[in-house]
Amino acid sequence: MLRALEDDRSSVRLRAALAVGTTPDPVFVDGLVERCAVEPEFLVRDMLTWALTRHPAALTLPGVLRELHSERAQARSQALHTLSKIGNPQAWPAITRTLLCDADDEVARTAWRAAVVLVPAGEKSALAPVLATQLGRGGRETQLSLSRALVGLGEAAAPALDTAAGVAEPGVRAHAIATQWLLSDPEAGFGFAIEEAKRVVALGGYGQEG
């Protein structure tokens, strides 16, 4: 089964991951974690994560947490994704500021999602300002991911967004304002919100001091 996870054919690897998850066995855990770091196909990676969630957290967490320190971006990203799916609160201390501000956009995006899943209620107000330091970062998908994470924190994100909406950098201000709108109206589309926010900033309104 572990050899099948390394087969050249993605269909074989997918079936192998499905089989491992269907009949969990501790002997597979290390192999699943290692394969997550190098598997090129998204669907197979997702099945690998599902297979890991089928094993006891006590067996999977140590290996997955080690991957957060990998030099390989995919290893960090997939480990974060797996932690968000396992949902074990013991993993929360491993979601560090370094990961939340990772230079790789995909790692950072996955860290934001994992953080919102794992953060204890009492830590949300401390998490929000860290996430807010990433406002204005990257392209549309990265910014949408961050906005969703901040909205996921609910009202705990409001003070950090208020502060960011008053900074001088236009990209940060626009992203903060758009996220504020989404926080007040989660059904609003991000594309519309960010374009309207950019227009407001360009006109010198909302949140600008002086």
> What was the pLDDT predicted at 48?
97
My answer on whether 82 and 140 are in the same domain is: no
> What was the pLDDT predicted at 201?
81
Out of 74, 98, 118, a domain closes at: 118
Over the chain (210 residues), the average pLDDT of each successive run of 10 is 92 96 95 96 97 96 97 98 96 97 98 97 96 95 94 96 89 92 80 78 59
Q: What is the CATH number of the domain that holds 9?
A: 1.25.10.10
My answer on whether 154 and 210 are in the same domain is: yes
Indicate the number of domains in the chain: 2
> What was the pLDDT predicted at 185?
80
How many other C-beta atoms are found inside a 10 Å radius of the C-beta of residue 188?
Answer: 14
> What was the pLDDT predicted at 6?
93
> What was the pLDDT predicted at 210?
34
HSE value, Cβ hemisphere, 13 Å, CA-based, for 69: 5
My answer on whether 114 and 128 are in the same domain is: no
My answer on whether 9 and 102 are in the same domain is: yes
**Per-residue three-class SS string for 108-126:** HHHHHHHHHHHCCHHHHHH
> What was the pLDDT predicted at 209?
42
Out of 118, 149, 177, a domain closes at: 118
The range of the structural domain enclosing residue 84 comes to 1-118
Report DSSP state, residue 55.
S
Out of 89, 118, 147, a domain closes at: 118
